[in-house]
A and B are shown apart, each in its own frame.
Chain A
């Protein structure tokens, strides 16, 4: 069997986490880093090998098989059982490639970025833990295993955001991220339990049963029919609850508030966790449950669509006004993930029999495709931002400007990634975004045009960022005592690799898409597992390209110059709007108000009062009683043997008298 080594994909990062976590502090920085990086390189090789083997394997009836190399029952509970195992199907294999690639890049990059930091070994240990959890999440054979790794991912994210734990903002951000995602995960758990209760299974085998039916071998039977019989609303409810969990992890509005703050973590971590991998877990979850959505909850899909649209617009709007470069990237991430959500949501059913029609295929494929391309160029952007922060020692755009002279490699790679995210042809973002917009257009022209507008905003704010960093006025004052310099090779190499992927994928898929060749992304990952040929809709492609170029021009016009008269005038004309966008439309304040004023004051305070006075009071009273009793009894323990004799005698006599009387 070719997949028998696949367990190593999970085991190696776990081992390196244990080694680094337990013995890391005894090691040199370099040794620890090398251990982590080497084990990850092996994982990456294994992932590539698995992907190669999987995608080159023969299809049965034109459909990729779902393969389960390992699956064992971990916890049997009557009808239900929690399993642990490894499941390979197109999306999980695709995710394997994405995660291991980005993670490896981040590992290499961190050599330079984290050089000399205190806790270097701990950092690598956490990276390994995160990688293991994320890989486990995508390889899960059932929702419960997925949930477990989902939480592990949350923990490692918490640990990494709070890596600089002496700093207050880092602690606050890590707590915020943990609590918000945990709050959402509660819904996920309820959804899982609802689903498991009614279907007697946590397994993903329904994927084989329903849509991708033919030829796959279901390994455990989920009793979907029973759940449907119990009521048509049950599965949609469970799915929507799970979606709330996914929305928390993927920072969908209004649960997005943790992601911008999570930028307090080290920048490579932001690249790995908060741009490329963990935040797309929600998207992955929807994709994983996609057969159920499309079969049993098609109406509920519109929730996904509109949440996605609102988030995409909101995040893009906020990103236009942020001054912290990592925040801009964070909001752009939120917006792009929302694109993926929308893409999945617009895959309406309309399938015939067991095979999905073209339309449903398109949205699903586009979402996954965007996930792939976004992971690459967004990781590149974040790593580039890391180089800049490394050089300037600040996140504020005001302190940058004119950096292109100092950092040529970072400049070029950043530009390429910006072009990719803006959706310029021959860059990877174009192909995937264009497919998303096409799918939206087919779903409803309104959504299509909104998404096109948001894509234009994306291009605008990305180039605003680009010009703000690399062009414009050089901040001589800040650079006076510290000239910015290009980052070391360990940091630029990952940028170059990611850029090469972006450009390579972009060029091939663009040409293939226009020419209608096979072998593009759709050939590997599609909703039905079939070979799906991407064929661009020339009209839409042209429109979105023109719009993207126009907004880039607009951004160039406004922000390229040494001084920015138009931006200043706009700012003066709409100060309130700018302020609102800068403050992220007061989302944090609203949450603050809701939690502090309403929940804390009206719910928690009475409960706390009850706890403090009634519950604690009871036990304090008991303790007081015992104490007083002891105090009053202690004088009996006089140590005077004669007193003991008297008491003994008194007791005996009393007993005797009692017995006599009876």
Chain B
């Protein structure tokens, strides 16, 4: 019961922040609301007893990615910082809302029509042991993930280099 209450609180926070994030006209505020969404999602992970995931979410997303956004906003949208706003067309809002709503209904319909929901609800109430995760992350056996892990690390490196190359000022 306590879980449900927590879930409801988190859901309200996530959805509310997300809505504000996409509705607000100031970029800086959008970034801030995104931060709240990220925290909320981290809370969901904690709720699911995925402590490590929650920690990673906070560290990488809330700590790293948001910082990048903030810096980018400061670099790009100087006017926005001083309270200048972005104009949003009303008809576009309507269209976007309509499309999203229809899609949402469709997706929810698909979810609810499926049978796998019936299997659910047997979540053990224990935290996933960290040791197991560590082994799975760097083990090379079946159901162990060292290869994707390495791949991600190389990928990150590539992206860093790529980002540097793309954003570098061309010396004429």
* Contact between A and B in the complex (any CB pair below 8 Å): yes
Task: Determine chain A's interface SS by DSSP, over half rule.
Answer: helix
B103: A residues at CB distance < 8 A: 649, 652-653
Query: Which A residues form the contact surface with B (CB < 8 A)?
Result: 646, 649-650, 652-653, 656-657, 660
Q: Does B15 contact A (CB under 8 A)?
A: no
A649, B109: Cβ atoms closer than 8 Å: no
Complex Cα–Cα for A541 and B136 (A): 122
B99, A660: Cβ atoms closer than 8 Å: no
Q: Does B95 contact A (CB under 8 A)?
A: yes
Q: Which of B90-108 touch A at CB < 8 Å?
A: 95-96, 99-100, 102-103, 106-107
Q: Does B110 contact A (CB under 8 A)?
A: yes
Complex Cα–Cα for A522 and B123 (A): 120
B99, A646: Cβ atoms closer than 8 Å: yes
A660: B residues at CB distance < 8 A: 106, 109-110, 113
Task: Please give me the 4 A-B residue pairs with the lowest Cβ-Cβ distance, nearest first.
Answer: A653-B103, A653-B106, A656-B106, A646-B99
B110: A residues at CB distance < 8 A: 656, 660
B102: A residues at CB distance < 8 A: 653
| Whole-angstrom distance between the Cβ of B81 and the nearest chain A Cβ | 24
Complex Cα–Cα for A646 and B99 (A): 7
| Whole-angstrom distance between the Cβ of A259 and the nearest chain B Cβ | 75
- 20 A–B contacts, CB within 8 A, in A order: A646-B95, A646-B96, A646-B99, A649-B99, A649-B100, A649-B103, A650-B99, A652-B103, A653-B99, A653-B102, A653-B103, A653-B106, A656-B106, A656-B107, A656-B110, A657-B106, A660-B106, A660-B109, A660-B110, A660-B113
A649: B residues at CB distance < 8 A: 99-100, 103
Complex Cα–Cα for A464 and B107 (A): 107
B99: A residues at CB distance < 8 A: 646, 649-650, 653
Told that A653-B103, A660-B113 touch, could you supply 8 new A-B pairs with CB distance under 8 A? A646-B95, A646-B96, A649-B99, A653-B99, A656-B107, A656-B110, A657-B106, A660-B109
Q: Which of B60-109 touch A at CB < 8 Å?
A: 95-96, 99-100, 102-103, 106-107, 109
Which residue of B is nearest A647, CB measured?
A: B99
Which residue of A is nearest B107, CB measured?
A: A656
Complex Cα–Cα for A657 and B95 (A): 19
| Whole-angstrom distance between the Cβ of B23 and the nearest chain A Cβ | 16
Q: How many residues in B have their beta carbons less than 8 Å from beta carbons of A?
A: 11
A656: B residues at CB distance < 8 A: 106-107, 110
Complex Cα–Cα for A550 and B102 (A): 114
Complex Cα–Cα for A652 and B100 (A): 12
Which residue of B is nearest A650, CB measured?
A: B99
Which residue of A is nearest B102, CB measured?
A: A653
Complex Cα–Cα for A460 and B113 (A): 112
| Whole-angstrom distance between the Cβ of B46 and the nearest chain A Cβ | 32
| Whole-angstrom distance between the Cβ of A654 and the nearest chain B Cβ | 9
B100: A residues at CB distance < 8 A: 649
| Whole-angstrom distance between the Cβ of A336 and the nearest chain B Cβ | 85
Complex Cα–Cα for A649 and B99 (A): 8
Which residue of A is nearest B100, CB measured?
A: A649
Complex Cα–Cα for A657 and B96 (A): 19
| Whole-angstrom distance between the Cβ of B86 and the nearest chain A Cβ | 13
A650: B residues at CB distance < 8 A: 99
A652: B residues at CB distance < 8 A: 103
| Whole-angstrom distance between the Cβ of A647 and the nearest chain B Cβ | 10
Q: What per-residue 1/0 map shows which CB atoms of B34-77 lie under 8 Å from chain A?
A: 00000000000000000000000000000000000000000000
| Whole-angstrom distance between the Cβ of B112 and the nearest chain A Cβ | 12
Complex Cα–Cα for A650 and B99 (A): 7
B107: A residues at CB distance < 8 A: 656
Complex Cα–Cα for A282 and B113 (A): 90
A657: B residues at CB distance < 8 A: 106
A646: B residues at CB distance < 8 A: 95-96, 99
B109: A residues at CB distance < 8 A: 660
Complex Cα–Cα for A646 and B102 (A): 12
B95: A residues at CB distance < 8 A: 646
Which residue of B is nearest A646, CB measured?
A: B99
Complex Cα–Cα for A649 and B105 (A): 13
Complex Cα–Cα for A652 and B106 (A): 10
Which residue of A is nearest B95, CB measured?
A: A646
| Whole-angstrom distance between the Cβ of A380 and the nearest chain B Cβ | 82
Which residue of B is nearest A657, CB measured?
A: B106
| Whole-angstrom distance between the Cβ of A662 and the nearest chain B Cβ | 13
Complex Cα–Cα for A257 and B109 (A): 88
Complex Cα–Cα for A649 and B102 (A): 10
Complex Cα–Cα for A296 and B166 (A): 89
| Whole-angstrom distance between the Cβ of A635 and the nearest chain B Cβ | 16
| Whole-angstrom distance between the Cβ of A449 and the nearest chain B Cβ | 102
B113: A residues at CB distance < 8 A: 660
Complex Cα–Cα for A653 and B96 (A): 14
Complex Cα–Cα for A608 and B95 (A): 55
Complex Cα–Cα for A657 and B100 (A): 15
| Whole-angstrom distance between the Cβ of A575 and the nearest chain B Cβ | 91
Complex Cα–Cα for A516 and B26 (A): 125
Complex Cα–Cα for A657 and B113 (A): 13
A653: B residues at CB distance < 8 A: 99, 102-103, 106
Complex Cα–Cα for A646 and B109 (A): 20
Complex Cα–Cα for A199 and B140 (A): 81
| Whole-angstrom distance between the Cβ of B110 and the nearest chain A Cβ | 7
Complex Cα–Cα for A173 and B89 (A): 75
| Whole-angstrom distance between the Cβ of A237 and the nearest chain B Cβ | 78
| Whole-angstrom distance between the Cβ of B90 and the nearest chain A Cβ | 15
| Whole-angstrom distance between the Cβ of A397 and the nearest chain B Cβ | 82
| Whole-angstrom distance between the Cβ of B102 and the nearest chain A Cβ | 6
| Whole-angstrom distance between the Cβ of A504 and the nearest chain B Cβ | 90
| Whole-angstrom distance between the Cβ of A483 and the nearest chain B Cβ | 79
Complex Cα–Cα for A649 and B101 (A): 11
Most buried by B among A650, A652, A653, A660: A653
Which residue of A is nearest B109, CB measured?
A: A660
| Whole-angstrom distance between the Cβ of A524 and the nearest chain B Cβ | 90
| Whole-angstrom distance between the Cβ of B151 and the nearest chain A Cβ | 27
| Whole-angstrom distance between the Cβ of A645 and the nearest chain B Cβ | 9
| Whole-angstrom distance between the Cβ of B98 and the nearest chain A Cβ | 10
| Whole-angstrom distance between the Cβ of A565 and the nearest chain B Cβ | 98
| Whole-angstrom distance between the Cβ of B87 and the nearest chain A Cβ | 15
Complex Cα–Cα for A656 and B102 (A): 12
Complex Cα–Cα for A660 and B96 (A): 23
| Whole-angstrom distance between the Cβ of A296 and the nearest chain B Cβ | 86
Complex Cα–Cα for A656 and B109 (A): 10
| Whole-angstrom distance between the Cβ of A218 and the nearest chain B Cβ | 81
Complex Cα–Cα for A581 and B100 (A): 94
| Whole-angstrom distance between the Cβ of A319 and the nearest chain B Cβ | 85
Complex Cα–Cα for A649 and B106 (A): 11
B106: A residues at CB distance < 8 A: 653, 656-657, 660
Most buried by A among B100, B106, B109: B106
| Whole-angstrom distance between the Cβ of A39 and the nearest chain B Cβ | 65
Complex Cα–Cα for A653 and B100 (A): 10
| Whole-angstrom distance between the Cβ of A642 and the nearest chain B Cβ | 8
Complex Cα–Cα for A657 and B104 (A): 12
